[in-house]
Copies of this chain bind each other. A is one copy, B any other.
Amino acid sequence: MRRGLDKMTVLKAAAELADREGFDKITLASVAKKLQIRLPSLYNHVEGLAGLKKELALYSIRKLKNQLAEAAIGKSGAEALYSIGIAYVSFVRRHPGLYEAMMGAPDFLNPDIQAAGNEIVALLLHVLEAFELDPINAIHTVRGLRSIVHGFASLELRKGFNMDVNTDESLIHILHTYVAGLTCKE
């Protein structure tokens, strides 16, 4: 068999293109050009543009999950939450296009994407055990943490924050405030 590209090479090319030029610049034409092949040849590796984007979303969430898990190593409680939160935002800053590929997926109902998402949820639930929340509260809290880091990263990516005030400090402040709200009841 003629050994040329494989799927991962295509995905990495698309990811780099997305991070460098923007997610909306991903077209089969632009990816093919970057790989120096003709456009239809990509169909040997991915199922069209929709397939490429779906695979890219999966690639993205798995990479994110790994980095979040790594950030939690050797930490616990509030310290672990801060580390994970910072890692999340850092991932989006380093991989803006790839992150958009993940959020740009029509929805998260794809089983593989859901599985990776569940691992992130499980990681957060595990860290939250130190807070001894009842199960329902723990779910609410995971949703809160995810909303905070995704919302923050997403708004920052869109240049939604005026740049006069340092954004790193904002992230820390927000996480501290939320965690304070978890611990000091009333």
Contacts and interface: CB of A to CB of B under 8 A. Distances in A.
Count of this chain's copies in the oligomeric assembly: 2
A177 B147 contact: no
A121 B154 CA distance: 17
A24 B105 CA distance: 11
A186 B182 CA distance: 11
Contact of A158 (B108, B158, B159, B162): B108
B173 A177 contact: no
B170 A108 contact: no
A179 interface: yes
Interface of A: 22, 24, 103, 105-109, 117, 121, 136-137, 139-141, 143-144, 146-152, 154-155, 158-162, 165, 167, 169-170, 173-174, 176-182, 184-186
A95 to B, nearest CB: 17
A143 to B, nearest CB: 5
A103 B154 CA distance: 9
A184 B143 CA distance: 22
Contact of A181 (B24, B152, B180): B180
A154 B150 contact: yes
Contact of A146 (B107, B160, B179): B160
A155 B152 CA distance: 12
